[in-house]
Amino acid sequence: MSTGVGIIGAGPGAGALHAPTTARGGGRFDVVHVSDSGSGRAQGIADRSGARYSTGADELLADPRVDVVVLCGPPATHAEQALAAVAAGKRGVLCEKPLALTHEDVDAVIAACREAGTALIVGTNHLYDPAWERAKHYLVARGERIRGISVTASLPPNDRYHAAVTEREAAAGPGARIAPDWDDPAVASGVVHRLVTGLLVHDVPLLRDLAPVIERVAFARPVPPIGCALGFVASGVPVQVTAVMVPGGADALWRMRIATEADLLEISFPPPFVHAGSAGVEVRDGEGRVISHPRVADDGYIALWRAFADALDGGAPVEYDEIAADAHYAIELADAAAAAAGERA
Amino acid sequence: MIDVDLTRAGGATDRYAAAIAELPLTARAWRDPRGVGSSEAGGRRTADAPAAPASSPAALGAERTARVRVVSGASGWLERAGAIQRDSAAQAGHGPDSREPGSATVASAPTPIVIAEPEAIAPGGLSFARAGAAMIVERSRMPELPDAARAAAAAARTVVIEAALPTIGGEEWLRDAIGWARLLAGLLEVESCAHAGPALLASFRGRDGIPVSLIAHPTSGPPRIDAHALGEARVAARVDDAGVEVRVASDLGDLLLAADLASPARRALHRATAGNDDLPDLIHDERIRARLDEE
């Protein structure tokens, strides 16, 4: 018997990602209700699945066929909607990142889910990518100290990846990304904050695994047209994170490089939205040997939904404390980076 | 044809001898019979000097033979290069560009110097008087950027440098990592720098204010520099002991650019014939490196 899924929010995260991904679960999940804030896009997604559609979250949360809720709306709504889902007795919440924007909201959501026994998972798909487990296993087995971490991302518009996994009505396409006024300190600070909590957060669980305690931000600056470059020190490890969103051109690059005392390990993540297998892992060890781990068919999104299923079925415990710690780390980093970017502007 | 003086080449002698052998139409080995720095001949090379090569300016008339001195980049290279410059200035007579063409006694133009893989040096030491001698700097980790990479880098939105520095030679590798940032982003200004033990994080402004980030840390494994220019087209350069690999990614895909398979010494001699001057770039990179040390 499949689990009824209600999706709140009808942007690309719903239509190009979670709705089609549930169809890969062999019937384990069934989208039964989609809601939005009144844009009308929920109907389009719902019609494809034979699901209901509505405006706002209330009707969806009251729908008895909805067992679990996927939160794909604006980040500022996630904490409130997660709490509402728990209050409505839903068995599980898959919350797109970030879980919440304040430390208090993180704690409130975690406490509510823990008390209710609600399965909770956050949509940071890099954490669930099978490649990360392989990389972590290698690092633990080698037992070497981490010397430096570098995350580099260069991202064209997602349209090309949406087109690979869904179809949309011919309509006015999304507007061009409008470059912020980076000279305005408030703008610079705000955009950097959103980039950390909404984009770079994909790698926060990985960074926290490697360098768990943020010590200081060395620099944080915007990268025109839309992007940021951060340098911070965590647990004595220098971490450099650069992400830029470009108007077109080359395919997406998202790469994490982890340097130990002797080894260099690189994880190259596939483009967003698509199901093209796991990330690639390549290690150049201290002896100069290059070891390439084979990619596997499952990508981070499929693995994320499988982990959600395991949590719902009781096959795996929900790591509330880890989820909370990741969320706190993201907020701490975002706040510090935003402050540094605002001072610099 | 250039005459290449290897008397001060030290440990680089064999490499440059091989490079000369690979340039039969362009270069030949030359030794100054008076010894470098000698002023016995009054600093002037005459057409009938015993060691005057057949292709000396006097012999060739209007054709002038370039002479290049290779100086080992080992410790003390600065002093050795300085001595050559002073000698060269003395030979030039009244100034660095003093020439008397057409006369039997020819006042030489300053002799270009090739520094073979120079050790890192404090930038203050690089401000010695330049007597007009061009300086070619052999830096094997920094070949010419291919045209396709140069074009992509010119439109980059940001540059990211990652450097794994060896225990021995770490300063030179860091200097070259900075050099790669310059190749991709133009001249740099330091914005911030932070140290985490032996590692460092730095941010810079490049050409037109383009953001540049650098992370450098020690390694006990093979050293490596990864340099990225990010934009609609991307450049990814990987530098290690095996050489330099440059890739360009665009909407057409990912292209591994053809490598320049000439030896660094041969490339240096070519640049010498072209009249390049690499000193400003070296000074820039060394100053940035020293600035990062101070922060």
Chain B hits for A154, CB-CB cut-off 8 Å, are: 157, 230-231, 234
DSSP-based three-state secondary structure for A266: strand
Looking at the complex, report in whole angstroms how far the Cα of residue A182 sits from the nearest Cα belonging to chain B: 12
Residue B79 CB contacts under 8 Å (≥ 6 apart), including other chains = none
Q: Tokens 């969320």 correspond to what residue?
A: A327
Residue A83, token pair as written in the block: 């709490």
Residue of B nearest to A242 (CA): B160
User: Residues of A near B (CB-CB distance < 8 A)?
Assistant: 147-148, 150, 152, 154, 156, 216, 218-219, 221-225, 227, 229, 231-233, 236-240, 242, 244, 246-251, 253, 257, 259, 261-264, 284-288, 344
Residue with tokens 């100054």: B32
Separation CA A293–CA A127 (nearest Å): 17
Q: What is the pLDDT of residue A49?
A: 84
- Chain B residue at shortest CA distance from A286: B221
pLDDT in tens, chain A (345 residues): 799 999 999 999 988 899 999 988 888 999 999 999 988 899 999 998 899 999 999 999 999 999 999 999 999 999 999 999 999 999 999 999 999 999 999 999 999 999 999 999 999 999 999 999 999 999 999 999 999 999 999 999 998 998 888 887 655 455 566 677 888 889 999 999 999 999 999 999 999 999 999 999 999 999 999 999 999 999 999 999 999 999 999 999 999 999 999 999 999 999 999 999 999 999 999 999 999 999 999 999 999 999 999 999 998 999 999 999 999 999 999 999 999 998 887
Best of B190, B201, B208 to mutate (most A CBs within 10 Å, chain A): B201
Q: How far apart are the first and last CA of chain B?
A: 47
The pLDDT of residue B127 is 64
Q: Which residues contact B25 (CB under 8 A, 6 or more apart)?
A: B1
**Most B CBs within 10 Å, among A240, A251, A287, to test the B interface:** A240
Residue corresponding to tokens 């006990």: B220
Please report, in angstroms and rounded to a whole number, the separation of the first and last CA atoms in chain A.
Answer: 55
Report the amino acid identity of residue A51.
A
Measured between CA atoms, how close is B18 to chain A, in angstroms? 28
pLDDT digits (tens, 9 = 90+) for A221-268: 999 999 999 999 999 999 999 999 999 999 999 999 999 999 999 999
CA A93 from chain centre, in angstroms, equals 14
| A220 φ, ψ (degrees, to nearest 5) | -155, 120
Q: Which of B201, B222, B249 sits opposite A218 (nearest CB)?
A: B201
Using CB atoms, pick whichever of A218, A221, A251 lies closest to residue B194: A218
The span from the CA of B186 to the CA of B191, in Å, is 15
Contact criterion met (CB < 8 Å) for A249 and B233: yes
Q: Around Cβ B174, how many Cβ atoms within 10 Å?
A: 24
Task: Nearest chain A residue to B162 by CA: give it.
Answer: A150
Cβ within 8 Å, pair B160-A249 = no
User: What are the Cα distances from residue A227, in Å, to A132, A180, A245, A269?
Assistant: 24, 10, 6, 18
DSSP-based three-state secondary structure for B26: coil
Of the candidates B160, B199, B224, which has its C-beta nearest A264's C-beta? B224
- Integer CA distances (angstroms), B56 to B2, B48, B101, in order: 10, 10, 12
Count contacts between A and B (CB, < 8 Å). 144
Flag residues of chain B having pLDDT under 50. 36-63, 94-108, 129, 131
Q: Residue A230 belongs to what H/E stretch?
A: strand A226-234
DSSP string, A88-147: TT-SEEEEPSPS-SSHHHHHHHHHHHHHHT-EEEE--HHHHSHHHHHHHHHHHHHTPPEE
Residue B42, pLDDT score: 36
Which positions in chain B touch A239 (Cβ < 8 Å)? 201, 215
Nearest-by-Cβ selection for A261 from B194, B220, B228 = B220
Of B162, B171, B290, whose CA–CA distance to A284 is shortest? B162
Task: Choose among A293, A83, A96, A294: nearest CA to A197.
Answer: A96
Pairing state between β B2-8 and B66-72: parallel
Cβ-based contacts of A287 with chain B (< 8 Å):
221
B215 contacts on A by Cβ (under 8 Å): 148, 150, 231, 238-240
Question: How far is Cα B150 from Cα B207, in angstroms, rounded to an integer?
Answer: 13
Interface test with B, best of A142, A146, A154 (most B CBs within 10 A): A154
pLDDT score recorded for residue A343: 86
For residue B203, give the chain A residue with the closest CA. A219
Beta partners for residue B212, in sequence order = B159, B204
- Residue B133: burial class (beta carbons within 10 Å; 0-12, 13-18, 19+): buried
Quick check: A253 and B249 CB within 8 A? Answer: yes
Determine if residue B233 is left, alpha or beta; phi over 0 gives left, psi from -120 to 50 gives alpha, anything else beta: beta
Q: Which of B192, B220, B230 lies closest to A154 in CB terms?
A: B230
Q: What is the pLDDT of residue B55?
A: 40
Whether B249 and A247 lie within 8 Å, measured CB to CB: no
Minimum distance, in Å, between the CA of residue B215 and any CA atom of chain A: 7
Q: What CA–CA distance (Å, rounded) separates A59 from A55?
A: 8
Helix (H, G, I), strand (E, B) or coil at A283: strand
Give the integer Cα–Cα distance in Å for A314 and A306. Answer: 12
Chain B residue whose CA is closest to A230: B213
Q: Do A231 and B230 touch (CB under 8 A)?
A: no
Instruction: Collapse the DSSP code of B178 into the 3-class scheme (helix H, G, I; strand E, B; otherwise coil) and give the result.
Output: helix
Provide the pLDDT for residue B64: 52
Tell me A212's DSSP state: -
What does the DSSP 8-state code read for residue A17? I
Alpha carbon distance B76, B82 (integer Å): 10
Report the DSSP pairing between strands A280-284 and A68-71: unpaired
| Tens-place pLDDT, residues B94-109 | 444 443 333 333 344 5
Q: Which residues of B touch A (CB under 8 A)?
A: 157-158, 160, 162, 164, 191-194, 196-197, 199-203, 211, 213-222, 224, 226, 228, 230-234, 241, 249-251, 253-254
| Cross-chain residue pair B192–A240, CB shorter than 8 Å | no
Of A219, A238, A250, the CB nearest to B203: A219
Closest chain A residue to B226, measured at CA? A257
* Strand arrangement of the beta sheet that strand B253-256 belongs to: B189-196, B199-205, B211-218, B158-165, B224-230, B234-240, B243-250, B253-256
Report field, pTM of the whole predicted structure over 0.95: no
Contact at CB, B162 and A284, closer than 8 angstroms: no
Output the six-digit token pair for A220: 């944080």
